[in-house]
Structure 1
Amino acid sequence: MKKITLLCMLFVVSIGYAQIALPMDFEGSPVTGDFIDFDGGGATVKANPQSGGINTSATVVELIRNGGQVWAGSKIVLDSKLDFSTNKGLRMKVYTAAPIGTAVTLKIEDAANGAINVEIPGVTTVTNAWETIEYDFAGAASGTYDALVFLFDLGSTGDGTATSTFLFDDVEQFDNSGGLAQIDLPVDFEGSTTNFAVTDFGGNSSSLVVDPTDSGNMVIQSIKGAVSETWAGTTIGTAAGFATNIPISNSDSKMNIRVWSPDANTPVRLKIEDAADDTHTCETEVLTTSAGAWEVLEFDFSNEASGTATLANGIANGWIYNKASIFFDFGTANSNKTYYFDDLKFGEASLSIDSFEQTTFKAYPNPTRDSWTIKTQNKNIESIQVFDVLGKNVISLAVNGNQAAIDGSNLKTGLYFAQIKTDSGINSIKLIKQ
């Protein structure tokens, strides 16, 4: 009798234990109690209230953001580390009543040390309907991450309403070998073929968003949290760094980046390093000069920050640099401020934004039913990219001259933005399709 009882107990335990691993469809496991909510987020496994479309499954996760912090969300810890050796992508089905273009960010973390993480931004393309959103984690190290963090509508404070409510389901890895290209200089965060993931540390929270001052431009929003280290910052890309080495030398030692800060005289530090050896670094720092406005900052790595390795020493020892990180308000903890950055380039900042805006571009006819002509008098146009209001690239043109025709006959009626690149910078103008 004792043997039978023991066997029954073992059988009950074995069928009662459910491993938390990918893929997750929430049909039995994981359950609500497996989620760790934080800062105003609340996840509940429940019956699918929006069965239809691409998701007719019985059970989903509902995540409601109600007050708290702008990074409110929920996470779940897996029973084993993720393996990205083959399947480098993650995807899930998402449903929300929030407007099209709402951020749906997915972060992977080391559960034992949340500062070790990779965060990939995504955006919704529909509202009140299920869609599959994919995330490219190329460059993420295998055997490092065992927590998934769901950060929906990152950057906004939830209010508990329908637009702060998200459903998600069917979280899984997949082979995205035909996916996004590794980030490389110059970085402008435009288009849909490059992996623009950023890697935060020290209490920073960053995501790819529409430029709040120009709806035709994509930028990185970087929030230095209310609980953050003096060295909180963001790596511009994944842990793999850039696809090619930064061509820096003792005689050509400058990089520039466009930034927006709420305050003038804010110290901004830029660090370059070898992605394969984090002891091979060089750092330099400048102050912002504008408050609440975009400006281009120039960083000269021959003028290294106090107490950091010199560029001359790195060059002399054959160090390579293929990774960059930016630190806003360096040296101050718990800033609780929001910054933006864009257009990281190698070389001198030869053109300020003000001088670029003096270039006159004309688009005619505008509005149009079929095509526009873009013309400028004083610059040579190199390329034109047209984006819809969601930031999706719909037209790309190579140009060599001061005039170009854009065929919009296949575009839907609405507002578009032409991003015009010349030999001295990039600017955007609005296009209207009737």
Structure 2
Amino acid sequence: MMKKITFLFALLTVSFGFSQTLPFDFSDPGQVFDWDPSGGTGGTAQITSEKLEVFGNGDSWDNAFMLFSGGDVVDLSDAANNTISFTMQSTTAPVDEVHTHRIKLGTTAGVFEVDFTTIGQDIQTYFINPPALGDLNELRFFVDRNSADNGTYLIDDIQVVPDPAPTCDDGIQNGDEEGIDCGGTGGCPDCPGPPTTAATTPTRDPGDVFSIYSDAYTDAPFNADQVFAGATLNPITVEANNTLELLITTTGGGFQRQFFTDGGAVPPVAPLDLTGYTHMHLDIYFNGTPSVGSIFKVIVQDFSTGGGVNIEENFDVNGLATDQWHALDVAFADFDTNSGAARSEVSQLIHIAAGPVFGDIYVDNIYFYNEPTAGIDDFAKSAFKIFPNPTQDRWNIRSQSAIITSIRVYDVLGKNVLSIAPNKNETTINGALLNPGMYFVKINTPNGQESLKLVKK
């Protein structure tokens, strides 16, 4: 009897003393993450079928996290051997719907954060390659970052692996490459370089424009442009026209132009009041090879309510042609996230290359402007015909010339309620399951994107 008791005590000692550190395959219940609702209600993290199952609660920053201490910490100081690998899958997203998330690595030598995306319910493998850091003491997954979505996700096989060997088709600038999968001595093709022609000069009345960056107008004063996630921002000239060159090495890279009066900002400037402006415009040019989920995200960050509120627009670059300028216009009412939020104290304008990395980006003519809101009777003037509108069940859409590559329908709160990829000139949106009310449709073609209104009776 004494031997049995001693053996049981030994088992308990081993169980209670087990160290939770990477790698995690979630075969051990002790590897479950804690849940941070971040001011929201609901949501949880649990282990299901040896995977970490995360239920979001719709808060902008709800997250699942694990803290490490003592002998559990993981050394991320070797820049050649500190890649975090994991798989993630949505179990609730519609086919091809893109959701943006964020991973945070808290270490003794600083914090590294980067966005990544899931597409539909595909199982995707991610390689997060930070610079040299310290000991990992905090790991967080923010699901549906800065979004009201409350999807469910499965995370598995979190581990630290050596940095992937550089190849010419891995979508990463590594080795001695001079750009993403180009240049260097590894046999990659030459990098395409900047555009040879400038973006079209704007002709809108300066009295209707609030300029951020354009030779055609007087730009608003700002503190500085800050880059993040390994990005590089260079001012260049194209045909004597000032242009911004944004070089991206990993997903989530970008830059933010700041307009702060305090916090040590030098020089201090007044935040932007964009209340009187209805639309945003920017010209974008990119090279490389975008794929499904490649997004150029613009965030107008307003602080009039105290904390920052992100008013977001996602431009699907996979539907745009490479190596040419695209003039992008979007009404604030049509923004993907927080379209109705106040914008009287905008202190940051953020530009992010999210999803699969697709190449170098060139930006010009960033400004806001006034334009009368297009009504239903104005649809006939656009590049598309939508009929009937209003409708009781379905809308027919006809392009005047270009192939319609994708269509996304959003409700007035900015939630994506329907997505299709017709790849033809004519298609039908089946709105039979939608509630009566107003919606916004974003139509993508190889020539650009247009946002229009839909009305369901």
Shorter-chain TM-score bucket reads: 0.3 to 0.5
TM-score of the superposed pair, with normalisation by structure 2: 0.43
